A and B are shown apart, each in its own frame.
Chain A
C-alpha cells in the first residue's frame, strides 16, 4: 500500500493516471502531455508500474500503458486529486529530471 501512496503523491503521476482513465495510451502519447524529459517520464511509469496501478504491453515497437487500478485505489486517487496530496510547489516531483536539470556553471551565482 505504501507504493500506492508514493505513486499517488506526485501530481504528474496522477495526471498520467487521469489520462489513462480515458483509454490505453502509448508512452509517446502520454509524454506529449508533459513538459519533462523522456527519462523522467520513464521513471514515473516505473513507479506506477511498481505500485500495480498501470500495466505495460508491447505492441510492435511501441509500449502501450493501461490502467489497472482497483476501485479502492481509484477512490484514493480521487481523494488525492480533491485534497491535493503532494501539490506543494516545493516538492512537485521526487523523480529527478535528468535531461531538464540545468547544472550550475562556474561563475554563476
Chain B
C-alpha cells in the first residue's frame, strides 16, 4: 500500500516538474534538480523492491516500508511546493510563501513521525552495549523530544510570520539535537552500581 503510494507520488512529482518546466521554460536547468531527485526516489523504490523479492524476508519487507515512507514524505515535501509554484504561474494562488510554509509543516510532521516510532526501535537486549533500562529511557526521551520539536516546528510554520518561523524552527531543531546528543553522551558514560548491588 505505502509502496504504491510512494510510486504514485513520485510519478505525480515528475509530472509536476514537467508542467512547471513547460510553464516557466526560462528557469531552464533549475527544473533538472527536482527531476533528478524524483528519478533517484523511483530508482531507490524499484531497487529495494527487487532486493525484497529476492530475499522474501520479514525484516527486508519492513525495510521496504521504511524506504517507501521516506519517499512518500520526500515526494510530498517537493511535490507540494512544485504544485503551488505551478498554481502561482497560472495565477491561481497569490501567496508567495505558501510553498515554504507547506514544506515546513511537512518537515515538522516528518519529525513527529520519526520521534513517535523511536521508542519502538529498541535493539535486542542481548546485543545491547549498555544497560537495557538506560537504553530504553534514552529512546523514550529522544522520541518525546523529537515529537515535541516536530509539533512545535509545524505549529510555528502555521502560525508565525515566515521570518519568525524560520528562526523559531531552527532554534527548536538545534535544541532538540543538543538535548539528544547530551543524552547519548550520558548513555555512554559508565554508571557506578548502587551500593548493595553487585
Interface residues of A (CB under 8 A from B): 21-24, 52, 55, 57, 59, 64, 66-72, 74
Contact = CB atoms under 8 A, between A and B. Distances in A.
Contact of B136 (A23, A52, A59, A70): A23
Contact of B119 (A24, A59, A69): A69
Interface in B109-158: 115-120, 122, 124-126, 132-133, 136, 140, 143-144, 147
Contacts of B125: 24, 57, 59, 64, 66
- Mostly helix, strand, loop or mixed at chain A's interface? mixed
Contacts of B124: 57
29 contacts: A23-B133, A24-B125, A55-B122, A57-B124, A57-B125, A57-B126, A59-B125, A59-B126, A64-B125, A64-B132, A66-B136, A67-B136, A67-B140, A68-B119, A68-B122, A69-B119, A70-B116, A70-B117, A70-B119, A70-B120, A70-B143, A71-B115, A71-B118, A71-B119, A71-B143, A71-B147, A72-B116, A74-B119, A74-B144
Contact size range, B = 10 to 19
Given A23-B133, A24-B132, A66-B132, A71 B122 contact: no
Contacts of A57: 124-126
